[in-house]
Chains A and B, each alone.
Chain A
Amino acid sequence: MRFVRKKLVNLLIVLLSVTMLSFLMINLLPGDTADVICGPSCDEAAREQLREDLGLNKAIPVRYVEWLGGAITGDLGRSGRTQQPVMEAIRERLPVTLQLLVYSQVLALMLAIPAGIMAARRPGGWFDKTSTGTVFVLLGIPQFVMAPLLIYFFAVRWQIFPAIYKEPGGFFELLKNLFLPAVSLAAAEMAVYLRLLRGDMIATLQEDYIMMAKAKGLSNSRILLRHAFRPSTFSLVTIVGLNMGRLIGGSLIVEVIFAIPGLGRYAVEGIFGRDYLAVQGAVVVIAVGYVLINFAVDMLYAVLDPRIRHARAVI
């Protein structure tokens, strides 16, 4: 368990540094929460009083420790704009972002896996060439171009899917309402996964046991699906995991475009409204998510591959 312990210590160090850095950054920049709550209307005395009440006059390290103490017990402070506790807002918004994430990853994998296998079956064949070309183009299309493109066709021209997120009534409505945002996110992800799976599949297909399977006279599809697919998904699993972590904070443009009340939009609104504690809370949740998922992926590695679990010298 030395491996796990070392990773856990790393995790703690990164989490502490991230929160400290974001706290420092937010507090060193001009303007503070008192200005936001007070607005331009109040005088210097009232503003000073407010600073005193909010504890903004204490030294930054003291405030950080106080904030950290609150954060550990689940209190991230109150939003300067809405007076809503930050923790409560995050609890409302995180599920929507997570739904969007899972949905987009499922869509991306549903396309990437069959296409990746097909492409690896005959490297250099027509399917491989077209899919490689498509992947290349998809990787060049940013989310804020993909989303208007999808809205134009699916919402404006054909009116199949809504362009603005509405609170869904049931599971199928959720799938429908989140379809365009999920595809906007999934397009580039799909391209990455396809490329990765294709490469790994081609490598796997060079292994001895594949030749053995061929020699036994197994059908092509059986070899691809039963023998070559699973060992080739190793890095795919990793990247999907890492992307989930990255996308918690990376879906904010899509959330803004489709007016999805998710965590990314909360952070953006916080930044625009100079709502420092809200931004801090969102950044912490996003960073914690990223670090935790990284940790989980490392663990998954060790579970999947005994060579890593036992290779003490390497780690």
Chain B
Amino acid sequence: MPVPSSDPQADESSAAAASATAAALLVAETLADEDVVKKKLGFGFYISAGWVVLISLTALLAPFLPLQKYDKTNLVPQRLDPFQKYYVAHDYDPESDLDSTKSFEYVNECQDHLEDRGGFAEGLRYCSNQVAVLGADSLGRDILSRVVWGARVSLIVGLGAVTLGMLLGGSIGIIAGYFRGRTETALMGIMDILLAFPALLLALAIVTFADNHSIPVVVAAIGLVGIPPVARLIRANTLVYSQREFVLAARTLGASNKRVIVREVLPNVALPGVSFAVIGIAIAIVAEGGLAFLGLSVDPPTPTWGGMINDGRNFLEDAPHITFVPAAVMVITVLALNFAGDRLRSLFDVKEGAL
């Protein structure tokens, strides 16, 4: 895409060129902190990375964490606010070793319930108080637990879709950028056609028509949509590196195309690719959220962040937290990934002037 540039005219007088340099220096000075400081990852990066690691760990360890069951309804009073105390009436039957519990928002409700069942009994019938840190949804399910379990879907889909997109899109991009000519025209032409499809609609159609709301299908739908942008990016980077001296050197030494691509081009293209992949995970998480929001991601009762956001839409008035707790977790995760990816990109970014 041609972009207007401040290319100096070739036959400009030296005086004008000098003044241009002076002006550029002047502005460059004010911009200096932008270009130089960016070469470190910085504090923000580690905070962002920390959040991503935290979310990944809790998601990974979800089955072992002391959480309520994510799909059990009425464990908590419906639409309970975050941090609000609630009461659980226990009615323990020693003979069958069954503890039938019921949850209430107020302590007197709990007491009344136990009165009806035959009064209090030490260790058998009693009220305990508990706290649902992030509140409960409209069916009385613990939101904390659902957010943690929902992270599993988001992260698996994010990683899976990006891997798929990078592998396929990356290969297409490298082949197009390295071989040029007809191959490039054909491959990039196909990519242009795919880009003309509305991305979300395409993913929607794939999931619906596949008639199977499982994680692999969602991953495939989002990953396929991601192929063209990745192919474009990797191709652009390949173009730059294929013309470098070391590629020429390798060719002169008689290296095969395959060897040049794998040993010379790929390592150079992969590095900026990694930072793009981090941002790509954020994009994929948002895309999965969009599908889940429309009810086209993994089926309930498996929680997804997008599905949870959608669940709360009818209760915005009395219980906004049902929507905004998962929304906040999702936005923070996306921001953290974006920030980390951005930092990585500027770290790896080799300005063309430095080549």
Contact = CB atoms under 8 A, between A and B. Distances in A.
Interface of A: 13-14, 17-18, 21-22, 25-26, 29-31, 122-124, 136-137, 139-145, 148-149, 151-152, 156, 202-208, 210-211, 231, 234-235, 238, 246, 248-250, 252-253, 256-257, 264, 267-268, 271-272, 274, 279, 282-283, 286-287, 290-291, 301, 305, 307-308, 314
Contacts of A143: 290
Contacts of B51: none
Interface class of chain A by DSSP: helix
Contacts of B275: none
B127 interface: no
Contacts, number: 156
Given A21-B193, A136-B339, A149-B327, 16 more contacts: A13-B189, A30-B209, A123-B30, A124-B30, A140-B338, A144-B290, A203-B6, A206-B20, A206-B27, A208-B20, A234-B3, A246-B198, A250-B198, A253-B290, A271-B201, A286-B198
Given A234-B4, A252-B201, A283-B197, A206 B24 contact: yes
Nearest to B317: A156
Nearest to A151: B316
B354 interface: no
Nearest to A143: B290
B31 interface: yes
Given A29-B210, A202-B31, A235-B4, A22 B317 contact: no
Contact of A290 (B6, B33, B198, B204): B198
Contacts of B192: 14
Contacts of A208: 16, 19-20, 23
Interface class of chain B by DSSP: helix
A207 B210 contact: no
A126 to B, nearest CB: 14
18 contacts: A14-B193, A26-B209, A123-B30, A123-B31, A139-B338, A140-B334, A144-B306, A148-B312, A151-B313, A152-B323, A206-B20, A210-B23, A235-B4, A253-B200, A268-B294, A271-B205, A279-B205, A286-B201
A267 B201 contact: yes
Interface string B23-35: 1100100110110
Interface of B: 1-4, 6, 16, 19-20, 22-24, 27, 30-31, 33-34, 189, 192-193, 196-201, 204-205, 208-211, 282, 286, 289-290, 293-294, 306, 309-310, 312-313, 316-317, 320, 323-324, 327, 330-331, 334-335, 338-339
Contacts of A210: 23
B2 A314 contact: yes
A144 B289 contact: yes
A302 to B, nearest CB: 10
B200 A252 contact: yes
Which of A122, A279, A282 has the largest number of chain B CB atoms within 10 A? A279
Contacts of B31: 123-124, 202
A22 B202 CA distance: 9
Nearest to A141: B331
Given A148-B323, A206-B23, A142 B197 contact: no
B27 A249 contact: no
A18 B289 contact: no
B26 to A, nearest CB: 8
B198 A211 contact: no
Nearest to B8: A208
A283 B320 CA distance: 35
A207 B338 CA distance: 32
The 5 closest A-B pairs by CB, nearest first: A249-B198, A29-B209, A140-B335, A145-B327, A17-B193
A290 B24 CA distance: 38
Contacts of A257: 313
Contacts of A283: 197-198, 201
Contacts of A291: 196
Contact of A211 (B19, B312, B324, B335): B19
B296 to A, nearest CB: 9
Contacts of B19: 208, 211
Contacts of B286: 142
Contacts of B197: 18, 21-22, 249, 283, 287
A72 B288 CA distance: 36
Contacts of A204: 6
B289 A149 contact: no
A177 to B, nearest CB: 18
Contacts of A264: 201
A249 B331 contact: no
A298 B199 CA distance: 22
Which of B2, B24, B339 has the largest number of chain A CB atoms within 10 A? B2
B5 to A, nearest CB: 8
Contacts of A148: 309, 312-313, 316, 323-324, 327
Contacts of B23: 206-208, 210-211
A298 to B, nearest CB: 9
Contacts of A231: 4
Given A124-B30, A140-B334, A250 B200 contact: yes
Contacts of A139: 338
Given A30-B211, A124-B33, A208-B20, A301 B2 contact: yes
Which of A137, A152, A208, A234 has the largest number of chain B CB atoms within 10 A? A208
Contacts of B209: 25-26, 29-31, 271, 274
A22 B323 CA distance: 35
Nearest to B310: A144
B309 A144 contact: yes
Contacts of A149: 324, 327
A235 B309 CA distance: 35
A152 B316 contact: yes
